[in-house]
Chain A
Amino acid sequence: GENVEQHPSTLSVQEGDSAVIKCTYSDSASNYFPWYKQELGKRPQLIIDIRSNVGEKKDQRIAVTLNKTAKHFSLHITETQPEDSAVYFCAASFTGSTLGRLYFGRGTQLTVWP
C-alpha cells in the first residue's frame, strides 16, 4: 500500500515568516494530495488539495507544489499568523476505481510566535 512520510514533525516560525512542510509518497498511482489543518481537539479541515495533473496550486497565503517524478509534494504558507498554529497533515490517495481512502502523514505541529 501507499506510504506517506512527512517532515518536519515540529516547526516554529516567527509571525510573518514563511513555513514549508514536505511530504513524500511511495505509490506512483496516487493522484490526489490534500492537506488538512487540525487544531487541538477539533476535526481535520481541508485547506488545499492538488491533483496529479497540476504542478502547483495557490490559495491566498497557501500554496502546494507537486513533483510527480520525485513523488513529493510540499505545503507553503507565507506571511504566517498566530492563528496558523495547528497540526498539518498531508495525505495521498488514488481516486480511480472504487478506491479513495486517504493515506496520511504523521503530521507537523506548526507554531507561529507573535
Chain B
Amino acid sequence: GAGVSQTPSNKVTEKGKYVELRCDPISGHTALYWYRQSLGQGPEFLIYFQGTGAADDSGLPNDRFFAVRPEGSVSTLKIQRTERGDSAVYLCASSLEGVGTQYFGPGTRLTVL
C-alpha cells in the first residue's frame, strides 16, 4: 500500500512569510508525528497526534509553530513569520497506534532565505 506522503517536497520562502507543510499518513494509522531534521543531525520531535488531538506538543520550539489534524488523517504543520533558523527537513511519521513502528515520509525541505 501507499506509504506516508508529504507535500511539497521542497519549499523556498522568504523570511517573515507563512508556510504550510502537509502530511498524508498511511491509511488507518491513528498516530501521526512531526519531526524536524537539521543537516547532520537526527530527527527532533515536534508534535504527536493521536487521532485528531495533539497528545504531545512539547517539541514545538515556539508559538510560531502550529499543527492540525482536523479529521484524524491528513495533518498540516503551519509556521508563521518564518526565520532563517527554521530551515530544515520536516519529516512526518505515522504508526498504527502510539506504540507501533513509526513509518516516515520523504520529508519537506524548507529553505528560508
Measuring CB to CB, which residues of chain A are less than 8 angstroms from any residue of chain B? Answer: 4, 6, 32, 34, 36, 42-46, 49, 89, 91, 95-96, 98-107
Q: Which residues of A sit under 8 angstroms from B99, Cβ to Cβ? A: 32, 95-96, 100
B37 to chain A, nearest CB (A): 8
Name, among A4, A43, A96, A105, the residue most crowded by chain B CB atoms within 10 Å (CB to CB): A43
Q: Which residues of B sit under 8 angstroms from A6, Cβ to Cβ? A: 42
Q: Which residues of A sit under 8 angstroms from B59, Cβ to Cβ? A: 101
7 contacts between A and B (CB under 8 A): A43-B105, A44-B43, A44-B91, A98-B50, A98-B98, A99-B55, A100-B48
Once bound together, how far apart are the Cα atoms of A44 and B107, in whole Å? 10
Q: Which residues of A sit under 8 angstroms from B7, Cβ to Cβ? A: none
Flag whether B45 is at the interface (Cβ < 8 A): yes
Nearest-neighbor residue (CB-CB) of B44 within chain A:
A104
Knowing A89-B43, A104-B44 are in contact, say whether A44-B98 is a contact too (CB < 8 A): no
A92 to chain B, nearest CB (A): 11
B60 to chain A, nearest CB (A): 12
Q: Which residues of A sit under 8 angstroms from B102, Cβ to Cβ? A: 34, 46, 100, 102
B48 adjacent to A42 (CB under 8 Å):
no
Once bound together, how far apart are the Cα atoms of A103 and B44, in whole Å? 7
Knowing A99-B56, A103-B45 are in contact, say whether A43-B101 is a contact too (CB < 8 A): no
Q: Which residues of A sit under 8 angstroms from B4, Cβ to Cβ? A: 43
- Besides A100-B31, A104-B43, 18 other CB < 8 A contacts? A4-B42, A34-B101, A43-B4, A43-B106, A43-B107, A44-B104, A46-B101, A49-B101, A91-B42, A96-B99, A98-B56, A99-B48, A99-B55, A99-B98, A102-B33, A102-B102, A105-B42, A106-B40
Q: Which residues of B sit under 8 angstroms from A105, Cβ to Cβ? A: 42
Name, among B4, B48, B99, the residue most crowded by chain A CB atoms within 10 Å (CB to CB): B99
